[in-house]
Amino acid sequence: MHLRWTLVPSLLVAAALSAPAFAQQSAPADTATPAPPSTPAKKPRKPKPPTAEKPAAAAPAAAVAAPPMAGGAKPTLLSQYGEWGAYTASPGGKKVCFAIAKPSSSETVPADRPRNPSYMFISSRPTDKVSNEVSIIIGYAFKPNSEATADVGTTSFALSTQQDGAWVKNATEEAHLVEALRAGQSAIVKGVSAKGTRSTDTFSLRGLAQALDRVDQECK
C-alpha cells in the first residue's frame, strides 16, 4: 500500500490538469487553496473560517498552483474514452499506465460538505509486475481504521483506506472488481471521513473497457 500511496497523488494532479476533458468538468471547491488576490494587497487578508471537512494533504487539487510531477515525468494522455482517460508516465524511469475518471455525481451526509475532487483510477506497472490495480482518491481524510465500499451492480467490494486513498481489501477480489467494472454501468463508492461525514460518489463506467484495453496495450 505504501508504494501505491507515494506514487498516486502526483500522477493524479498532473493528469487532472493536463486532460482537456477534465478541465471542462466542474469540480468541487478546493477548500485547501485560497484564491490569489487580483491586485497586490497592502493589508493582510483575513483568514478563512475553518471548513467542516479538512481536505487530505495529498488530495489531487491541493497543489493546483504548482502541481508536482511523478518523478519529474508528466503523464501523457493516450486517448479519451467516454468518461475515462488513458494515460502513461515514467516516474523514476519506471513506466506506469492508468485509466482515470472523476465521479459523475457526489453526495455527502450532512449535505454540501466541502471536499477536494475525488478520482478512481486503474493502473499497471510492468516493472513491479502490477496489473489493473484499482485505487480511489476520495477528497478528504478517511476515518482512521475505517473501510469503504465499491458497489458495482449487486456486488459490493470492501476497500481498505489510508489517509484519502482506498484500495481493494482482499487482493484476490481485485480481478473480479475489474471484470465487474468493465461490464457495469456505474460504480458507487461510499466512505466516512475523519469528521464523520458520509460520502457517496457515483462513477460512470462509460468508456472504461476501452480505456483499460488501451492501458493494457501500452503497458504489456
User: Which span out of 87-91, 163-167, 182-186 was modeled with the highest average pLDDT?
Assistant: 182-186
Closest CA to 197 of 150, 117, 122, 138: 138
Give percent of the chain above pLDDT 90: 58
Q: What is the pLDDT of residues 25-66, one digit of tens each?
A: 433 333 333 333 333 334 334 444 444 454 554 333 332 222
146/160 Cα distance (integer angstroms) = 7
| CA-based torsion, 59, 85, 151, 167: positive or negative | negative
Q: Which residue has the cell 486532460?
A: 19
Average pLDDT taken over every residue of the chain: 77
Residue 187 has pLDDT above 50, yes or no: yes
Q: Are 161 and 142 in contact (CB under 8 A)?
A: yes
Q: What is the DSSP letter of 193?
A: B
Q: What is the DSSP string of 51-74?
A: PSS---TT-GGGGTTS---BTTB-
For 107-154, the pLDDT digits (tens) are 999 998 889 989 999 999 999 899 999 999 999 999 999 999 999 999
Please choose, from the candidates 75, 118, 82, 69, the residue with its C-alpha nearest in 3D space to the C-alpha of residue 98.
75
Q: Beta 84-89 vs 96-101: how paired, if at all?
A: antiparallel
Task: Please give the domain boundaries of the chain with CATH numbers for all domains.
Answer: 2-26+50-218 (2.60.40.1880)
Tens of pLDDT, residue by residue over 72-90, are 568 899 999 999 999 998 8
pLDDT band at 1 (very low <50, low <70, confident <90, very high): very low
Which pairs count as long-range contacts for 1-8, CB under 8 Å and 24+ apart, including other chains? 1/160, 1/162, 1/167, 3/128, 4/133, 4/135, 4/165, 4/167, 5/58, 5/162, 5/163, 5/165, 7/70, 7/91, 7/96, 8/58, 8/121, 8/135, 8/137, 8/165
Q: What is the pLDDT of residue 72?
A: 54
